[in-house]
Structure 1
């Protein structure tokens, strides 16, 4: 190993040797003697949109029976802006029923995940997703992930349609150029063969943006408007905050370096909100985005993956030095984008004073502005399934088969049913009611703004429960707030099963992050964070660590009481906690 190689992480060496993300994926998928793939291949499969997992609920039992892990794969779609046709949604349900675990999950990045896909079905799943004109390419891995933007089809001023078009353009621009994805997962139209269309090249195709080894870590881009930050622009690597004058989009404030993941045992690791970098005209978006990615590609940490996100590069360089490097790369970026050198102004202009002022989850019935309606439907933790009296999956099958032509997925794991005629509203409401599906007017504010990551039993990183635990936590919180007369309070609770922050817990009013498990009882323990806000512009702070699942609400109760007694006007819970401070709130809890 050379000195240069010794400074790179194992994953970096795997990427470099993969010949454009091919590796031995095809050969290992064809091997019917195993139910899993090798570790190096799992790293490459992420770029193709899938993670190898196992059912952790079954580990102990299988160990006793002398069996190995019950392996399966999670497959994630790339769906820019969360836009789907009815046929595509029905196709995802069919794939889940026939080749997965029968459920689909809407993610916090406006996408869909399928769980429980065994190795022998993986090729069919990814191939069928492409057959319905969706894709899994770059849904995971060290590249730009799904590009998010406000999903609401509000057409009265065209602003959100502009965001959606830009999200599509960006997604196409940042997609890797390697032909590996097509060669591995798409049938040859002439022969119908499942194998690669052509043998891999001796060298990977040159990728002008990503180079040979792609990015040091995952990279996220999101577009929002100042009065509606429904996608949490500040926790993206690049947040594009649309600035308007009246009903005209005049450009974007570029935010750089957001990221929710952290490793508590490493002091140099932390979650972060993006920094305000520059204001740019809409026509300059692609070159500026490209220049930022190139800086992260060339200067991001490739030795320590825990320090590889762009937020650490910006922290180490400082915002001004990072901005200078972006300006240095603008000429290269302009060439990649096919525009004349000097098109983007240098130096990059200072950020516009405009900033986030609001958040809208777009739930309930709304006029679109074109004579039609959309219905924002809450889906608890994004899980689409039939269970007991709640037959959500069946209801959506009926609606997408006969009544609804398209939908949008939200960053809160909900769904918007779009382009509905006025005369259809009553029928749609009846279908939902007949299948036990609740609408936003039937749930509390606490439940409305809460969501969780999947965690156990499928996620290999999970320390504690999350998706399966949060509904019970919400039940208890609802009871406390009703008793205190705070049922109408509007705040968000976000829970994750580990510190990686997939459900964005670190800028929530209340963040619950899995920390450890009691060795005797098996009960999960959580770090409780307080003081973020619904509009996503403020980090919260640790209120109490190692709180047992059964004591979460008891731990919060004194704070709720203090909020009820000392709230100023219409002050939100997160604003109150930030004003008082977690240290003072901790003393309140001790005094009760």
Structure 2
């Protein structure tokens, strides 16, 4: 698919640069005038370019959209605050770190919650301007930071949260950390602005990302088959672990996945990642740098809607991109080592690892940890953190694993979890396999509800499943409040993509393994209309399905929707 731009011989787009490129180029390596802006008491927000530049430091400026109209009527500025996303490669955090972020969320945010995200980390929502610098300094004391969790850089590196094969997982997790560190911005802007770091006279150098950073955001994963819990096809660069006798020996490399699109613009579309080949471990960082460098130099810096790696591959061709990566790394990919994904959900409940330690995966609906009447989830996690001797693992499905529990501590941990509502025996498989992005009231891009909408919508779907006698089954269901992909609806069996209040595009035909993109079945319909459609379709599935046939696979076999084979060319057919 062409994006109607011209290329020169090096595959760079030749057209007027987007304003974001000016902004990065003039930012003095991401400093801008953020430090001066922090002292401006006339507004709770950031002015001019700083509004965008703070994203490179892990923050988004937001306001409470529930209060926006009321405050406008009162002639008040919107309730401006920031959301911060922590950098947490592989999602592992210590109990001591958890207690630190728990205290800050309770005392210094508007909403009091900790939000687990689909990027395998946590977010603070509702941090006012005066608390931003103390927040970063707290993270630093906890040996955490938010560097490059937003903006045109490589974001938080995901890693399969495997709680069973502890040795293989530990090795894969160490590579996730190495990749994250290698691809980080090298500018001292973060340390200078937030940590009062010494300002140096030397000129910053960005050997990997370049002086104007990447054309668009970039996402990386480390995946351990057969679990696809990180949804690799939603990411630009993926390292699929290849093990031998329980030891990690190399990676299959896949490039060019991504789910975001724009309503009404057929030049935007979701895309699965393409297989490049196999590499031994020692070439991992060289390949990561070469992929990022190729996208840095070849990506579209004129039209941000077509700036991600997936569009670069479509424009120049997969083989040309792959050959450039090989040239830059000085490495030739070997053929892909066969691999298979059989699941991508989290194992909720107790699992014993090969190291004889136990792991408790807690289902956290929508990833929102807050105290509710009769369900003191946030307090419960803090109480567990006070006594737990292992670590916590945040999953890309918004759940939390209490990992490395000694056998003699099992009953104590479970007792606390049950006491605070972190374990409920009544949670259905359907609810465990449903997910939503944050959306209203804090996301400025939200078009329809998602997080607040999901619990009741799942209850209605559960009722439909029970009526058709498939209550013990599940459908991978995801809701996202806009087409930007945070809820990963474009890898669901049933995906709802928000268009307007209580109006969504209904997509069908993904699969349980997360290796097929769903196709739009109905456009711009209400939640009531969606439930009516699902009632009919689930009824047909219950009667006509083959043994162990997932709902998405059934919709393809029954001809309800055509499979998406090549999303760049047939997603809108």
TM class, shorter-chain normalised? over 0.9
Superposed CA offset, 1:327-347 (max 9, x none): 2322xxxxxxxxxxx4x3x3x
For residue 374 of structure 1, what is the aligned residue in structure 2?
Answer: 359
Taking the aligned partners of 1:216 and 1:38, their CA distance within structure 2 comes to 22
CA contact (8 A) 1:80 1:168 kept: yes
CA drift at 1:117: 0.4
Hey, what's the Cα distance between the residues in 2 that align with 1:247 and 1:581? 42
Q: For structure 2, list consecutive stretches of 5 or more residues without a partner in the other structure.
A: 1-12, 564-573
The CA distance in 2 between the partners of 1:549 and 1:559, in whole Å, is 15
The TM-score with structure 2 as length reference comes to 0.93
* Superposed CA RMSD: 1.8
Do structure 1's residue 134 and structure 2's residue 129 form an aligned pair?
A: no
Q: Is it true that 1:167 corresponds to 2:176 in the alignment?
A: yes
1:183-582 correspondence to structure 2 within 5 Å? 183-187=192-196, 197-198=198-199, 201=201, 204-330=203-329, 342=330, 344=331, 346=332, 348-439=333-424, 441-517=425-501, 524-582=502-560
State the Cα deviation string for residues 197-237 of structure 1 (Å, max 9, x = none).
Answer: 326x5x85111101100000110110112211111112210
Q: 1:124 aligns with which of 134, 138, 149?
A: 134
Distance 2:107 2:554 in 1: 49
Alpha carbons of 1:320 and 1:152: their partners in 2 closer, same or farther (altered >3 Å)?
same
Q: CA deviation at 1:112?
A: 0.5
Distance 2:562 2:40 in 1: 60
In structure 2, C-alpha distance between the alignment counterparts of 1:75 and 1:164, rounded to whole Å: 23
Secondary structure, counterpart of 2:66 in structure 1: helix
Taking the aligned partners of 1:55 and 1:306, their CA distance within structure 2 comes to 26
- Return the alpha-carbon distance in structure 2 between the equivalents of residues 511 and 571 of structure 1: 18
Q: Conserved in 2, the CA contact under 8 Å of 1:152 and 1:416?
A: no
Check the 8 A contact 1:381/1:413 in 2, yes or no: yes
Give 2:119's aligned residue. Answer: 109
Q: CA deviation at 1:351?
A: 2.2
CA distance in 1, matches of 2:306, 2:507: 23
Alpha-carbon distance in structure 2 between the residues aligned to 1:143 and 1:71: 25
Does the 8 Å CA contact 1:404/1:417 hold for their aligned counterparts?
no
Deviations 1:141-170 (A, max 9, x none): 1110000001234345x2111111111111
Question: How much has 1:113 moved relative to structure 2?
Answer: 0.3
Aligned counterparts of 1:29 and 1:198: Cα–Cα separation in 2: 17
Does the alignment pair 1:150 with 2:160? Answer: yes
* 1:259-305 CA distance string (max 9 Å, x none): 11110221100011101111111111111111110000001000111
Q: Does 2:21 align with 1:12?
A: yes
- CA distance, structure 2, for counterparts of residue 356 and residue 434 of structure 1: 36
Quote the residue 2:567 is aligned against: none
Report which stretch shifted further, 115-124 or 576-585.
Answer: 576-585
- Tell me the CA shift for residue 429 of structure 1: 2.0
Instruction: Tell me the secondary structure at the aligned position of residue 329 of structure 1.
Output: helix
The offset of 1:354, in angstroms, is: 2.6
Distance change in 2, residues 1:554/1:32 (3 Å): same
Residue 336 (structure 1) aligns with: none
Query: Aligned to 2:67, what secondary structure does the other structure show?
Result: helix
Give secondary structure in 2 for the equivalent of 1:231.
coil
Which runs of structure 1 show a deviation greater than 4 angstroms over 4 or more consecutive aligned residues?
none
Structure 1: 5+ residue stretches without partners: 189-196, 331-341, 518-523, 586-592
TM-score, structure 1 normalization: 0.90
CA–CA distance in 2 between the matches of 1:286 and 1:569? Answer: 43
**Offset of residue 357 of structure 1:** 3.5
Task: Judge which range, 370-379 or 203-212, deviates more.
Answer: 203-212
1:50 to 47, 54, 59: 59
Range with bigger deviation, 233-242 or 5-14: 5-14
- Deviation of 1:405 after TM superposition, in Å, equals 3.9
Aligned partners of 1:84 and 1:225: how far apart in 2?
A: 20
1:559 is displaced (CA, Å) by: 0.4
What secondary structure, in the 3-state scheme, does the structure 2 residue paired with 1:124 have? helix
Any conservation in 1 of the 2:509–2:561 contact (CA below 8 Å)? no
SS in 2 for 1:401: helix
